[in-house]
Structure formats: C-alpha cells, structure tokens
C-alpha cells in the first residue's frame, strides 16, 4: 500500500538564517515524522544539545545520567496526542537536524489508573489542572546543535511554536459551527531553573511553582506558563 502524499509531506516554511545561511523549518505530525529521514539525526542532535548544556554547570551533576534520550521511541512516547507537532530546522536538501522543538496539548496531571493506584509523580510532571475556559499546550522539548547555540534559533522556534498553536486552535474552532470563539490559549513547560529559567522568563513566561529534583541533586525545576496572544 502506498503512502498518502498528504501524510508523507510535512509543511515547509523558511527557517532562520544560521551562520548567514538559509534554513528550512519542517512542521511534522507524529505519523509524518516516523516516515521521515530525519529520525537518526534527530536523536543525535537532541542528545548533543543537552550534553553541551549540562556541561556548562558541572556542579549540578547532570552529566552523570547518560544521554537525554536512549532511543527515538523515548521521544515519540511523549507525543501520543494526535495534535502533537514537531518542528525541525535543517539546511535545504539535508537530513541533518540543526534544531528541533515539539509540543502537545496539555490535559492536566496524570490521573489514577484502573487499579486506583496513584501514579507516582515525577518532579518534572506538572501538577496543575487545565485552567477553566483555557486551551493549554505543553512544550515538551527544544534542542539546538551546540555550534549554533546563541544565535537566536531557540527564540525563533519558540515564536513559531506559539504561532502554530494559535493557527491550529483557530482552525479547529472555526470548524465548530455555533460554538464560542477560540478560548484563551496558554503554553506550559518545565525547565531547569539554573540553566534555562531566565531564557523563558525573558519571553513572557511566569513561574507557577518550583520543585526540587531531590535525592542529592543540586538543581531545581521551574514550572512555567504563558498566555498566548490570539
């Protein structure tokens, strides 16, 4: 059975200039991504990006835990929501991932399973319910190759993620005849305070709460949110 052209082709837009050279941003759904040639490079770029970032603060002991992802399945397992989207920045005609970000709908904290045993809460897991009257999205991961960090690529991707969320929500609600306008949109995320906290706070995110990693670790986890203008 052949692959549907609509399924196999991500949406392409011009990406940011990096080292003075043009790039392309590809916006994938999960089914599109699993068919793409970017998968091997995607895993490598994510692990390289986190290793480089963690090496900046050796006193936090972040490097002792191995790579950020052990397999591409680790990455995809966090994007089960059908509306999840993945952005990949690359050179035109290249399968090498320069930068990536991914987002999914946020539906609230984990609930009790069928055996009524409470899900063990990770300090990385957001514990706040979705705000009434709001549609919330969660930034799951963002990474750039170490040699392009500091060139504004992450900020460019953040802006694109927010525009993509607005466009998807507007399209969804426009198809619902007779219903109210687009609800208030929010983006939520968690990040290491000591590494990336200021990056997000400078871009309009506010602190909802903070958790400690515990177990002898030396870092703190910020849980942030931002209302997205529609």
For residue 69, being part of any structural domain is answered with yes
For residue 132, being part of any structural domain is answered with yes
Task: Give the CATH number for residue 20.
Answer: 3.40.630
Cα angle 205, 211, 216; round to 5? 135
Q: Are residues 49 and 117 in contact, defined by beta-carbon separation less than 8 angstroms?
A: no
Number of structural domains the chain divides into: 1
- Report the SS3 class of residue 32: helix
Q: Report the chain's terminal Cα–Cα distance, integer Å.
A: 41
Digit-coded pLDDT (tens) for 148-184: 988 999 999 999 999 999 988 888 877 775 555 667 9
Q: At 114, is the pLDDT very low, low, confident or very high (cuts 50, 70, 90)?
A: very low
Q: At 78, is the pLDDT very low, low, confident or very high (cuts 50, 70, 90)?
A: confident
- Report the SS3 class of residue 12: strand
Indicate the pTM of the whole model.
0.85
| Mean pLDDT computed over 47-75 | 75
Distances (CA, A) of 61 to 20, 26, 46, 67, 123: 35, 34, 19, 13, 17
Distance, CA of 180 to CA of 23 (rounded, Å): 38
| The predicted structure's pLDDT at residue 80 | 85
Q: Are residues 13 and 25 in contact, defined by beta-carbon separation less than 8 angstroms?
A: yes
| The predicted structure's pLDDT at residue 2 | 37
Q: At what angle do helices 193-201 and 39-55 cross, to 10 degrees?
A: 100
Q: Cβ atoms within 10 A of the Cβ of 107, count?
A: 12
For residue 205, being part of any structural domain is answered with no
| The predicted structure's pLDDT at residue 26 | 97
For residue 82, being part of any structural domain is answered with yes
For the chain, give percent helix, strand, coil, nearest 5: 30, 25, 45
For residue 215, being part of any structural domain is answered with no
Distance, CA of 105 to CA of 138 (rounded, Å): 6
Give the residue numbers spanning the domain of 60: 5-188
| The predicted structure's pLDDT at residue 87 | 97
**H helix runs in the chain, sequence order:** 5-8, 30-34, 39-55, 72-76, 153-174, 193-201
For residue 199, being part of any structural domain is answered with no
Lowest mean pLDDT among 75-79, 167-171, 212-216: 212-216
For residue 46, being part of any structural domain is answered with yes
Distance, CA of 187 to CA of 183 (rounded, Å): 13
For residue 103, being part of any structural domain is answered with yes
């Amino acid at each position: 059975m052949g692959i549907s052209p609509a399924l196999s082709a991500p949406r392409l837009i011009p990406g940011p200039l990096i080292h003075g050279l043009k790039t392309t941003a590809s916006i994938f759904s999960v089914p599109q991504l699993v068919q793409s040639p970017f998968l091997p490079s995607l895993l490598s770029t994510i692990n390289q990006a986190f290793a480089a970032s963690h090496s900046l603060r050796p006193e936090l002991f972040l490097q002792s835990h191995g790579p950020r992802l052990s397999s591409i399945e680790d990455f995809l397992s966090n994007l089960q929501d059908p509306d999840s989207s993945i952005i990949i920045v690359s050179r035109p005609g290249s399968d090498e991932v320069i930068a990536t970000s991914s987002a999914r709908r946020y539906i609230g904290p984990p609930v009790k399973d069928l055996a009524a045993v409470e899900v063990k809460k990770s300090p990385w897991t957001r514990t706040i319910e979705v705000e009434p009257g709001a549609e919330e999205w969660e930034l799951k991961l963002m990474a750039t190759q170490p040699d392009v960090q500091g060139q504004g690529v992450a900020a460019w991707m953040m802006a694109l993620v927010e525009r993509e969320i607005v466009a998807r929500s507007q399209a969804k609600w426009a198809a619902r005849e007779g219903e109210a306008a687009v609800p208030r949109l929010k983006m939520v995320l968690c990040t290491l305070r000591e590494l990336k906290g200021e990056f997000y706070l400078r871009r309009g995110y506010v602190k909802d709460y903070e958790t400690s990693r515990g177990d002898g670790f030396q870092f703190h986890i910020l849980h942030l949110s931002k209302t997205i203008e529609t």
